A and B are shown apart, each in its own frame.
Chain A
Amino acid sequence: MAGKIIADTIETGAGADISTSYVVNGSAKAWVHFDGTGTVATRDSFNMSSVTDRATGAYTTSATNAMASADYAWTSNASNQGAAYGAYCVEGDATGTKNFNGRTSSNVRLNTGGYTAWDDALSISSVYHGDLA
């Protein structure tokens, strides 16, 4: 049988302590690193069920276990190794514009681009922080 500890605080032997709320709330609840060029391929992930390629520079990441609401924090990064220009990653909508629209408790629609247009990116990361359902 697996052991189970129910506690409000975790304290080190040196006396430094941290509330378990920091451990639970501060832990990322889902993350994924994927290649967004060609056939989208996940390199590594946690609590992510899929990455959908919606269009050039447009993807949807879907969490396996949903968040409690759509108000969680989301951070991302996009890079194009070897490209002549950098890439950026923003939250977008189904049509690929930069407007926030349609985040759900599981899904984030994100868009990547270069400095002139939407474009696929080689390395894209998406991280969710917040409360799980």
Chain B
Amino acid sequence: MSTVITDKLTGKTSAGDVTITSEGGSATMQLQQGVAKGWVNFNGSGTIAARDSFNHSSLTDSGVGNYKTTHANNFSSANYTFACQGGNPSDDGTRIPTRMRDDPTTSTYGNQQFTTTAAANQDCTQVAFTFFGDLA
């Protein structure tokens, strides 16, 4: 078994391009592209509070079931990919549609609203956002 001890990985040919080999060994991919650039797990009920996060600076409670997150390090454009999920375990898995009220920016995502199937906003105790894309 071998260990690389380092604080930083930088591509040799191109600083922002470190290639890794796939599990099956037949493909390669760019390490930076596949790594999540930010995520946050928070309680969106009552006084909203992050439980755990990465590259995340703050949460904004914009109303009932309506949240905005601010990234610590900005993305290079507003076209990054996001996945979000919200729910209330006590609701026995009720479907939670979402709607985006504002376009994402390089530094913020939201306001993302979580709604009931009757189109009313609702707070969620379990909310997670994950972001993929290019950092600035």
A residues near B (Cβ < 8 Å) are 2-3, 5-14, 17, 23-29, 31-33, 43-47, 65, 68, 75-88, 113-115, 122-123, 125-127, 131-133
The 7 nearest A-B residue pairs measured at CB:
A86-B97, A27-B34, A132-B22, A79-B100, A86-B115, A44-B79, A33-B81
B residues near A (Cβ < 8 Å) are 1-7, 9, 11-13, 19-24, 26-27, 29-31, 33-36, 77, 79-85, 95-103, 112-119, 130, 132-134
Q: Are A27 and B31 in contact (CB under 8 A)?
A: yes
Q: Are A3 and B100 in contact (CB under 8 A)?
A: no
CA of A131 to CA of B101, assembled, Å: 35
Known: A27-B35, A46-B132. A79 touches B99 (CB 8 A): yes
Minimum Cβ distance to chain B for residue A71 (Å)? 13
Closest-by-CB residue of A relative to B13 is A2
Question: B115: which A residues are within 8 A, CB to CB?
Answer: 85-86, 115
Q: Are A125 and B97 in contact (CB under 8 A)?
A: no
Known: A46-B34, A79-B98, A86-B119. A132 touches B82 (CB 8 A): no
CA of A65 to CA of B24, assembled, Å: 11
Question: A77: which B residues are within 8 A, CB to CB?
Answer: 82-85, 98
CA of A84 to CA of B29, assembled, Å: 40
Q: Are A28 and B132 in contact (CB under 8 A)?
A: yes
CA of A87 to CA of B96, assembled, Å: 8
Q: Are B3 and A7 in contact (CB under 8 A)?
A: yes
Minimum Cβ distance to chain B for residue A61 (Å)? 11
Minimum Cβ distance to chain A for residue B28 (Å)? 9
Q: Are B99 and A31 in contact (CB under 8 A)?
A: no
30 A-B pairs with C-beta separation under 8 A? A3-B12, A8-B1, A9-B2, A11-B4, A12-B6, A12-B7, A13-B6, A27-B20, A27-B34, A33-B81, A33-B133, A44-B81, A46-B33, A75-B130, A76-B83, A81-B100, A81-B101, A82-B101, A84-B119, A85-B99, A85-B115, A86-B99, A87-B99, A114-B97, A115-B115, A125-B82, A127-B130, A131-B22, A132-B22, A132-B24
